[in-house]
Amino acid sequence: MGKSKYKRDWHKYDENVITRYTLMFPFYVFEHWWELLAEENRNAKKTYKAPKEFNDFLAFLHLFLPYRAIEGVLRALERLKIIPTSLDYSTIWERVRNMNIKFPEANDQLEVIADATGISTNKGGQYIIAKWGKTKDSKFLKIEIVMDKDQFNVINAEVTSNEVETAVKTVKDLQDKGKKFYGDKAYDANEVYKTGVEVVAPPRKNASTRRGHPARRKAVREFKRLGYNRWREEKGYGVRWRIESLLSAVKRTFGESVRATRHYMLTPLTNLWG
């Protein structure tokens, strides 16, 4: 097998990774603590000890540490004078559990890409599976991401048990702006076509041209006429690499498992995708 002609610019790649983590980690809250806190307390009914932007930092820590451990970290940061005050266990718990997640405002004439990934609630890892096999109580939570194709912004991120239902809800919320939807075979469903946007999703093998929504029947006929490769090129289906890269990057960074086992416990995790 010959040597690959592909050569990666490792210096550029390393700098991109460094920049990514610089943007991901909320350093700004330490630089602008007092300005942010003054704004927070301006019309507040009670006096806050830390600005709400500090919640992003707490959620980041909670991906790796339990609440009591975070309390210890904050005490150490206060002692080192990196932050002016620490927070107790109850305050940390309340801030992380009740975070208000906001996604960027969508642009006009939006084209969105959707995909979902499974997150394990079992942190035992491959060794446990190899040693004892899969247990009956192994569980997975599914997270669906909807991304702006051009701006790379995450429009929505939800823990879901039904990808199609969640995608339809998101598209309907953006209906005055959305014009095209990209998804894999999981989104080849009448409900998605009924939203009125142009759907770019490869049909299932048993997709019918006689039943279902007219737009879906038309899409299936077009796919069969063109064949996958030509259809993929003409429809621009290759853009899905962007959302697949996002899912892969987050999993490589934070792992493929969480401590949470219920949907309402996943606020810190879904906040990451924003």
How many structural domains is the chain composed of? 2
Question: What are the pLDDT digits (tens) for 60-84?
Answer: 888 788 899 999 999 999 999 999 9
Does residue 184 belong to any structural domain of this protein? yes
pLDDT of 268 reads: 44
CB neighbour burial string for 84-99, b if at least 16 within 10 angstroms, e if fewer = eebbeeebbbebbeeb
Question: Are residues 142 and 40 located together in one domain of the fold?
Answer: no
pLDDT of 106 reads: 60
Using only the alpha carbons of the chain, give its radius of gyration: 22
| Distance, C-alpha 251 to centroid of its chain | 10
- Provide the mean pLDDT of the chain: 80
Pairing of strands 198-200, 140-148: unpaired
**pLDDT above 90: percentage of residues in the chain:** 27
The pair of structure tokens assigned to 152 is: 């790379």
pLDDT of 267 strictly over 50:
no
Question: What are the pLDDT digits (tens) for 169-208?
Answer: 877 777 666 688 899 988 898 888 888 888 899 998 888 8
Q: How far are the Cα atoms of 71, 88, 123 from residue 75, in angstroms, in the given order?
A: 6, 9, 28
Question: Are residues 166 and 39 located together in one domain of the fold?
Answer: no
Does residue 200 belong to any structural domain of this protein? yes
Question: Are residues 202 and 78 located together in one domain of the fold?
Answer: no
pLDDT of 135 strictly over 50:
yes
- Most confident stretch, 14-28, 29-43, 153-167: 29-43
Whether 183 contacts 114, CB under 8 Å: yes
CB neighbour burial string for 7-16, b if at least 16 within 10 angstroms, e if fewer = eeeeeeeeee
